Structure 1
Amino acid sequence: MAGEQALISAGMKVALVPCPALGDTTLLLWLAWRLKDAGVQVSLASASLFAVRDYLPGLEIIGGAQPDVPALARSHDLVICAIDWFVHANDPETESALGNVAYLAGKKLPVRYELERKTVSLAGAPLPGAHNVICRDPKAGKTMVQWIDIYAHEILGLDIMSKPAGLQSLPAIAEDAAGRVAIFPTTPHASKNYSHRGFRRLAQKLAAKGWQVEFVGIPAEQQALQSQYPDFTVHAFQDLKGLIDYLCTCSVVISNDSGGGHLGSLLGLRTFTITRRRSDFTWRPGFNDRNRVVNPRFTFKWMGKTIWRPFISLNHVLRELPPVARH
């Protein structure tokens, strides 16, 4: 743990800068809640979260597509910033010299900048381990939420025993939410996506059991998704508020390894993650214990590619979602 005089304390001002990816954003939002519970004045620089600032009382949400990390460093005691912004900064050498900015990476810090050797200061004292990776051991079986809690406790000295309050003032849960499933069939990385045919077959089987099945994508892909799933409603939302409001009408999220699953987990929904990874892979939904990883029975390599989609058993999902009575 960091030295006693360097620990985060009530009244300090801390800024968090997540990268734009939804899953990463939910993770630093969790850390923001941990800091807020410790009496810290927390700012979050996030374009997506700005749309849901009314659901985040007690946090200052700073919008804008490009965070001004040096300005945040001048107005806060500490800035914790996703490594993505550092790597793509106009002048990373200058930003690496900011003494109160800590950079976090998922699994690896860029070697060429030697961040591990550079000291981060908090209230005039060094904060050991502030530049760090979130996942220290991908084989440990911990979720990224558990890893961020370890960073919060061991590096920042925060209490992680209680669960944060989470999003507030959300829309009322829809009366028919218990019977609605949201499927997120895409990610920005095609290699992570389960097949459209597989998702369509799963949707049809769930619909036959009485579930209201709907698909969710981004606006740019909505038309293509609608053509792939013509018998189902396909949603696309212009901002995070629209997506969160929609998920308040659902009870289950089925997705690839993607931000949709993490957001559903954050909202307390039941999640199923279809992936080629092992069941205890690190980046699985971990904000509640109602998550299930569905992976292939086996895989093999063919012409340099991993073949896994034909070996996903949809029965893992179907067995756990009982029939829904139609009204």
Structure 2
Amino acid sequence: MSESKTLIGPGVSVALVPCPALGDTTLFLRLAWRLQAAGAKVSLASASLASIHEYLPGLEIIGGKPDVVGLAERNDLVICAIDWQVDASLGNVAYLAGKKLPRAFKPEQQPVSLFGYEIAGAHNVICRDPKAGKSMVQWIDLYAEQILGLDLTQPIAGLQAMPVPRADAARRVAIFPTTPHASKNFSCSGFRRLARSLAARGWLVEFVVIPAEQQRLSAEYADYRVHAFADLKGLVDFLRTCSVVISNDSGGGHLGSLMGLRTFTITRRRTDFTWRPGFNELNCVINPVLSFKWLGNTVWRPFIPLRRIVQALPNWKGRQA
């Protein structure tokens, strides 16, 4: 371990700037907890996390649009999603991308230093090898260990002071049926079939969408409650009442996993795809038993084995929660 990898400890101030996407935000929150466990003073510049600051004791949460230059002036180190890259040359700002840095970005021309020591590899991609089978959580932990020199054996805080779960939480399931990318979305009819099968086994099924979708999807899922939340706290508090999250490849699955829930991720990708929820061991990836190309599109939705989800969950029919 080089000298630069032993510098983060008590009293060192580190600011993290995640991109707005919920899945990416959960990864930066994981990194924040790793830094906090090392004794660093950590702040997170995130508009979405501002609403759950009470569940994040010990972390400073800064709402609004991130001021990367100002954070660099006030902190020893800043680790920033490449989405917020600024033109200024800042020697204590490291940029992270999911899978690739912009072609025009030249890491070797922008060295990152902490207390005069260069941090090799500070500018990086989180996923360095998409074929390795590691989840993004494992990749962010490797960045913490290999680049920042953090000890992964140290326990991390996690969400704190959460609401008490409801008495029926064990039999409640939340389905996230959409993502910002239509190509990732399983079909409405498929989610309805799944919801009916789970309800027939005694599960209490509810859907979660973004506010702009609520009216339209309330009609699509007329037999079920369809929730939309104005902020992250509303979503977190709702998921606290559930034990299972079913989603496409989306932030809802990552948040559920972060909160310790059992998650099922429906995707056309392989079962060990990088962006699967990975904060606990209770995730199952459900992919098609076959797929094929037709008129330039991949046909996969009819071949999702929903029975795998239904059979993996207990039958509550006639049982007490």
Report the CA distance between 1:5 and its aligned residue: 6.4
Whether the 8 Å CA contact 2:136–2:276 is kept in 1: the answer is: yes
2:272 paired with 1:280: yes
Name the structure 2 match of 1:27: 27
Aligned-partner Cα distance in 2 for 1:261–1:121: 35
CA offsets, 1:92-147, max 9 Å, x none? Answer: 432xx111000000000011121244200111111110000000000111110000
Partner amino acid, structure 1, of 2:8: I
Question: 2:298 is paired with a residue of what secondary structure?
Answer: strand
2:165 paired with 1:184: no
Whether the 8 Å CA contact 2:200–2:317 is kept in 1: the answer is: no
Whether the 8 Å CA contact 1:57–1:168 is kept in 2: the answer is: yes
Name the structure 1 match of 2:49: 49
Q: 2:87 aligns with which of 90, 93, 109?
A: 93
Q: 1:145 aligns with which of 131, 137, 148?
A: 137
Question: 1:34 is paired with a residue of what secondary structure?
Answer: helix
Mark the CA change 1:218 to 1:129 in structure 2 (over 3 Å): closer, same or farther: same
Name the structure 1 match of 2:157: 165
Name the structure 2 match of 1:74: 73
Mark the CA change 1:262 to 1:116 in structure 2 (over 3 Å): closer, same or farther: farther
Name the structure 2 match of 1:303: 295
- Which structure 1 residue ranges, 5 or more long, are not aligned? 87-91
Whether the 8 Å CA contact 1:253–1:272 is kept in 2: the answer is: yes
Aligned-partner Cα distance in 2 for 1:79–1:284: 27
Aligned-partner Cα distance in 2 for 1:166–1:5: 24
Q: 1:218 aligns with which of 210, 221, 231?
A: 210
Q: 1:206 aligns with which of 188, 191, 198?
A: 198
Aligned-partner Cα distance in 1 for 2:76–2:103: 26
Report the CA distance between 1:167 and its aligned residue: 0.4
Aligned-partner Cα distance in 2 for 1:77–1:204: 53
CA offsets, 1:177-209, max 9 Å, x none? Answer: 001000000000000000011001000000000
Aligned-partner Cα distance in 2 for 1:149–1:185: 29
Q: Percent identity among equivalent residues?
A: 68
Runs of 4+ in 1 over 3 A off after TM superposition: 1-7
Q: Size of the alignment, in residue pairs?
A: 319
Question: 1:216 is paired with a residue of what secondary structure?
Answer: strand
Question: 1:54 is paired with a residue of what secondary structure?
Answer: helix
Whether the 8 Å CA contact 1:2–1:128 is kept in 2: the answer is: no
Partner amino acid, structure 1, of 2:248: N
Name the structure 1 match of 2:59: 59
Whether the 8 Å CA contact 2:4–2:118 is kept in 1: the answer is: no
2:33 paired with 1:39: no
Q: 2:244 aligns with which of 242, 247, 252?
A: 252
Aligned-partner Cα distance in 1 for 2:307–2:123: 43
Mark the CA change 1:263 to 1:5 in structure 2 (over 3 Å): closer, same or farther: closer
- Which structure 2 residue ranges, 5 or more long, are not aligned? none
Report the CA distance between 1:2 and its aligned residue: 4.6
Aligned-partner Cα distance in 1 for 2:155–2:317: 34
Aligned-partner Cα distance in 1 for 2:296–2:83: 28
Name the structure 2 match of 1:231: 223
Aligned-partner Cα distance in 1 for 2:32–2:247: 25
Partner amino acid, structure 2, of 1:182: A
Question: 1:301 is paired with a residue of what secondary structure?
Answer: strand
Coordinate RMSD, CA, aligned: 1.2
Name the structure 1 match of 2:15: 15
